[in-house]
């Protein structure tokens, strides 16, 4: 039996900070964040304690989906900078012990990528088969009934060649044909190109969708998710391609690879991340961010802490020594965590942001911090559909209106879930436009930047930022590093609908993590003797586990003896 899963890897105790370049920091006043702007803020990220940056796409792109539609994998979008800027970023990050992980978007390209332009040019072009072209069904309709994430149908008809092409996302994001070995080789080549520059790894966009069954059957599941997922999510071919990618590329570098994988359960999680399978380091699963809505149907559901705990604990336990988790509250596709799961106004904003951080950063796996989460940034209020930028917001809005939902109800849904909440620019200080730009920001800021901003947070020792910093220190520290990274996870009181409590244990040591998710006082007791109050989000230290009075959103970490 192999014991590769017991081998330590550098990314096991890593803390990842995600940057959405367009909204991070604008260095030249054109209103768009850029790479030189990121370089200016590397000290900020280093002080926070993150040692990996996941950079959302900076490649050349028509920006139909803000860079997730790439037209040249080997050059940098001019609005973000130059290749020299990118190399300087790698160099400057390295000086600070930070690795750069780039977004690898290879399920699809832009329709402006020369590969697609050639592919589209004629039926017998050598690149025709680099994308997925199919004849219409008898009667002229689409080759099958699959839907797209951003449009009603996953197929667009091309008049001149009389065929449809597949796009699981927008029609400007045609899917590459991974069944064609030339496509795979071209991708592997491009990966070497970047890795040789000293990259720390890749975040792989919707990587579990690359394997399509060759017969393209109709979907049968219409009650959840984008119709067709039963065929293109986690297809066995995908695992085979990943193993090939590992063999041809990844095994030659010591890198972090994280696959973005909607529609996965914990068994899939093991398939992707068990080290003996030689696929990828870890995945981003979607179960826990799917409980308060049906995204594709644009329907809101109630957040249920019991269900949340069940999902998170299942992932913690099922992957224990059998794979590796990534853990996150938010990213560039999700609303702001404190607005979604905590309380985003008054003093409870700071307390609940720290509470959420406590729960996540004491879990095993690699934690991801999305830009601004460390400030407790909140959702912005939008009043009209024209204020949104994201193509998905527009699609969901139209879908709701077509169903007969009122305009206001549709806007309310987007105010809860739009991806634009995460894409509103960072708040650096209280000056105009939050110090993000001296020009006109590409997307207007949340007016609360005057209160919530980085310069305030750096000065205030009780800020959310400094609390995140302490959590990162614990993960990397002598005292608790091992238990936080490698300890066993046990959920306490699964049915408790207000308090999230769990244990971590490693050798003789036990940590108890308790978090009140409610805005009410909760009285609880836990077994064990408290030896040491490690960290908490309120000034008072916890002393007695047998009689706890938890204030609204209170959270603490204690070392205990059971």
Asked if 480 and 61 count as a contact pair (C-beta separation under 8 A), the reply is no
Q: For the purposes of burial, counting CB atoms within 10 Å of the CB of 459, is it exposed (0-12), middle (13-18) or buried (19 or more)?
A: exposed
| Among ligand TEU, Ca ion, none, partner that 344 touches (CB below 5 to 8 angstroms by kind) | none
Q: What 3-state DSSP class applies to 65?
A: coil
- Binding range to ligand TEU, per CB under 6 A, among 22-30, 236-244, 327-335, 469-477: 327-335
- Residue 368 φ then ψ, to 5°: -115, 130
Nearer Cβ to ligand TEU, position 108 or 349? 108
Closer Cβ to Ca ion, 28 or 290, answer by number: 28
Q: In terms of C-beta density within 10 A (0-12 exposed, 13-18 middle, 19 or more buried), how is residue 463 classed?
A: buried
Residue 555, helix vs strand vs coil: strand
- Choose among Ca ion, ligand TEU, none what residue 34 binds, the Cβ cut-off being 5 to 8 Å by kind: Ca ion
- Residue 149: which of Ca ion, ligand TEU, none does it interact with, CB under 5 to 8 A by kind? ligand TEU
Q: Which stretch binds ligand TEU (CB under 6 A): 23-31, 151-159, 328-336, 351-359?
A: 328-336
Smallest separation, CB 263 to ligand TEU (Å): 9
Cα 512 from Cα 483, distance rounded (Å): 11
Q: What are phi and psi of 321, to 5 degrees?
A: 60, 15
Backbone torsions φ then ψ of 393, nearest 5 degrees = -60, -45
Report the residue from 48, 63, 98, 105 that binds ligand TEU according to the rule CB under 6 A: 105
The counts of H helices and E strands in the chain are: 17, 22
Which does residue 206 touch among Ca ion, ligand TEU, none (CB within 5 to 8 A, set by kind)?
A: ligand TEU
> Total number of residues binding ligand TEU (CB under 6 A)?
14
Nearer to Ca ion, 28 or 180 (CB): 28
The answer to whether residue 147 forms part of the interface with ligand TEU (CB under 6 A) is: no
Find which of Ca ion, ligand TEU, none residue 205 binds, CB within 5 to 8 Å per kind.
Answer: ligand TEU
Catalytic residues: 205, 260
Output the smallest distance, CB 485 to ligand TEU, in A.
26
Q: In angstroms, rounded to a whole number, what is the distance separating the alpha carbons of residues 246 and 250?
A: 4
For residue 262, state whether it binds ligand TEU (rule: CB under 6 A).
yes
Return the bridge partners of 549, or none: 523
Specify the residue, 77 or 471, whose C-beta has the smaller distance to Ca ion: 77
CB distance 322 to 309 below 8 Å: no
Contact of 204 with 191, CB cutoff 8 Å? no
The binding track of 285-324 with respect to ligand TEU, each residue x by CB under 6 A or -, is: ----------x-----------------------------
Q: Which is nearer to ligand TEU, 40 or 294 (CB)?
A: 294
CA distances from 24 to 84, 372, 429, 443 (A): 19, 9, 13, 12
User: Using only C-alpha atoms, what is the Rg of the chain?
Assistant: 23
Query: How far is Cα 298 from Cα 525, in angstroms, rounded to an integer?
Result: 40
Largest CA distance in the chain: 76
Residue 261 C-beta: closest distance to ligand TEU, Å: 9
Contact characters 5-34, Ca ion, x per CB under 5 A:
---------------------x-x-x-x-x
Which part of the chain contacts ligand TEU (CB under 6 A), choosing from 13-21, 326-334, 338-346, 404-412? 326-334
Burial of 547 (0-12, 13-18, 19+ CB in 10 A): exposed
Nearer to Ca ion, 29 or 217 (CB): 29
Give the number of other Cβ atoms within 10 Å of residue 273's Cβ.
Answer: 25
> How many whole angstroms separate alpha carbon 499 and alpha carbon 510?
19
Neighbours of 394 (CB within 10 A): 16
- How far, in Å, CA of 106 to CA of 86, rounded? 20
- Which residue number, 285 or 364, has a Cβ lying nearer to ligand TEU? 285
Output 34 or 103, the one with its CB closest to Ca ion: 34
Taking the complex as a whole, the smallest distance from the CB of residue 145 to ligand TEU amounts, in Å, to 19
Instruction: For residue 549, give the 3-state DSSP assignment.
Output: strand
- Chosen residue from 13, 111, 287, 333 binding ligand TEU by CB under 6 A: 333
Task: Give the nearest distance from C-beta 254 to ligand TEU in angstroms.
Answer: 25
How near is the Cβ of 284 to ligand TEU at its closest, in Å?
A: 9
Which listed range, 16-24, 330-338, 397-405, 500-508, lies at the site for ligand TEU (CB under 6 A)? 330-338
Residues found near ligand TEU in the complex (CB under 6 A): 65, 68, 105, 149, 169, 205-206, 260, 262, 295, 332-334, 419
Residues found near Ca ion in the complex (CB under 5 A): 26, 28, 30, 32, 34
């Amino acid at each position: 039996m192999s014991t590769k899963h017991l081998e330590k890897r550098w990314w096991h105790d890593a803390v990842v900070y995600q940057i959405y370049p367009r909204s991070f920091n604008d260095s030249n006043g054109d209103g768009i964040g850029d790479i030189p702007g990121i370089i200016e803020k590397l000290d900020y990220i280093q002080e926070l304690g993150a040692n990996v940056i996941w950079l959302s796409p900076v490649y050349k792109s028509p920006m139909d989906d803000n860079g997730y539609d790439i037209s040249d994998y080997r050059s940098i979008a001019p609005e973000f900078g130059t290749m020299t800027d990118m190399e300087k970023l790698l160099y400057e990050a390295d000086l600070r012990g930070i690795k750069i992980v780039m977004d690898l978007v290879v399920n699809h390209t832009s329709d402006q990528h020369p590969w697609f332009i050639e592919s589209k040019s004629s039926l017998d072009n050598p690149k025709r088969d680099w994308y997925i072209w199919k004849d219409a069904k008898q009667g002229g309709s689409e080759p099958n009934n699959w839907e797209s994430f951003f449009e009603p149908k996953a197929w667009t008809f091309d008049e001149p060649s009389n065929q449809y092409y597949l796009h699981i996302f927008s029609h400007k994001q045609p899917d590459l044909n991974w069944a064609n070995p030339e496509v795979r080789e071209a991708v592997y080549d491009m990966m070497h190109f970047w890795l040789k520059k000293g990259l720390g790894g890749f975040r792989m966009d919707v990587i579990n969708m690359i394997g399509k069954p060759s017969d393209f059957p109709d979907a049968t599941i219409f009650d959840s998710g984008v119709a067709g997922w039963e065929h293109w999510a986690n297809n066995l071919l995908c695992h085979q391609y990943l193993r090939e990618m590992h063999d041809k590329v990844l095994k030659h570098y010591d890198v972090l690879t994280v696959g973005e994988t909607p529609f996965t359960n914990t068994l899939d999680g093991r398939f992707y991340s068990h080290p003996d399978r030689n696929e990828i380091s870890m995945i981003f699963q979607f179960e826990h961010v799917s409980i308060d809505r049906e995204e594709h149907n644009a329907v809101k559901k109630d957040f249920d802490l019991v269900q949340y705990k069940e999902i998170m604990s299942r992932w913690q336990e099922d992957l224990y020594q059998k794979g590796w988790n990534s853990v996150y509250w938010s990213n560039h596709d999700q609303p702001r965590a404190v607005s979604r799961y905590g309380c985003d106004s008054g003093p409870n904003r700071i307390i609940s942001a720290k509470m959420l951080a406590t729960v996540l950063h004491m879990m095993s796996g690699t934690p991801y911090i999305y830009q601004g989460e460390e400030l407790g940034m909140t959702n912005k209020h939008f009043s009209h559909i024209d204020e949104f930028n994201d193509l998905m917001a527009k699609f969901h809005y139209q879908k709701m209106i077509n169903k007969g939902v009122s305009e206001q109800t549709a806007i309310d849904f987007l105010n809860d879930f739009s991806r634009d909440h995460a894409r509103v620019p960072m708040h650096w200080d209280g000056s105009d436009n939050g110090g993000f730009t001296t020009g006109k920001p590409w997307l207007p800021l949340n007016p609360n930047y005057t209160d919530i901003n980085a310069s305030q947070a750096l000065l205030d020792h009780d800020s959310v930022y400094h609390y995140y910093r302490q959590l990162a220190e614990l993960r990397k520290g002598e005292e608790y590093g091992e238990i936080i990274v490698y300890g066993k996870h046990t959920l306490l009181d699964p049915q408790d609908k207000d308090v999230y409590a769990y244990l971590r244990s490693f050798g003789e040591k036990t940590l108890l993590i308790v978090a009140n998710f409610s805005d009410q006082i909760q009285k609880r007791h836990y077994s064990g003797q408290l030896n040491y109050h490690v960290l908490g989000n309120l000034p008072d230290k916890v002393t007695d586990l047998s009689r706890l009075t938890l204030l609204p959103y209170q959270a603490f970490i204690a070392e205990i003896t059971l």
